[in-house]
Amino acid sequence: MKKIIFTFVLILLSTHSYAGKKISVGISEWPPLMFTEKKPFRGISVDVMKEISNRLDLQIEIEHFPWSRIISMLQEGTLDYVITIFKNKEREKYILYSTTPYYTLTTVFYVKKGKKNLIQKYEDLYKIEVGVAADTEYFAPFNKDSRINKTNVVREIQLLRMLSKKRVDAVVGTYPQIKYSIIVNGYGDEFEQAVYRPDNDAHLYIGCSRKSQFASKMGQISETIMQMKKEGKIQKIINEYFKMESGHVNTSQ
């Protein structure tokens, strides 16, 4: 009888500890995944997290911080969750990850419409001039391959302008960011993806501080991500962002 009472008290205390408390969720500017210019915050990742919280009846508070601060807060346990993070061994020491990613990024090359066969394999890059963003890591061996004629610029929009004016033969970027940039800057009907794509997919996860009192929710969050992917809900959210800017729903890579 004492055991039953003790267990019941623990349950009550646990329930009380969650009552009225919101899960703090950190984001940093990264269109189209996260837009932080004004509240309410929006973006693909933000909408995915909002959908998860609605399905699980979780109270969340999304806050904007510089990326470096988000990482330190997760280490300290002063931030509960981050909604867009890559997995690595070092971070696993202080972050619990969703068991499945909710989105995948990849490197792509864009060329002028009708020129997609210009780059069919990696070796074709040696024959052309490629626009790249300075100090950006794309994939090996491309990053340090001095045999490729590269034109460096500071901002991605400069790459698009150069490709439009045929000052470079192709530009490289990370999908979906580069596709979104192409659409919002009015180049959607002018460029297309090259045939060649490097095999360097990078998966995005939801992460939780191991010190968070809400760490136990990660199992439910992971299951919800899998269900949303199965339903096509996440793809629908992605499509909506591209549709808003271009009127085109197709976001296939």
Percent of the chain with pLDDT over 70: 88
Write the pLDDT tens digit of every residue in 35-57. Answer: 999 999 999 999 999 999 999 99
Q: Tell me the pLDDT tens digit for each residue of 85-133.
A: 999 889 999 999 999 999 999 999 999 999 999 999 999 999 999 999 9
Section 6-23 average pLDDT: 54
Rounded-to-10 torsion of CA 113, 174, 238, 51: 180
Q: Does the pLDDT of residue 242 top 90, yes or no?
A: no
Q: How far is CA 118 from CA 129, 170, 176, 234, in A?
A: 11, 9, 21, 32
**Residue 230 or 18, more confident:** 230
Domains assigned to the chain: 2-103+203-246 (3.40.190.10), 105-193 (3.40.190.10)
Task: Tell me: pLDDT of 253 over 70.
Answer: no
Residue 148 banded pLDDT, cuts 50, 70, 90 = very high
| 166 — pLDDT class (breaks 50, 70, 90) | very high
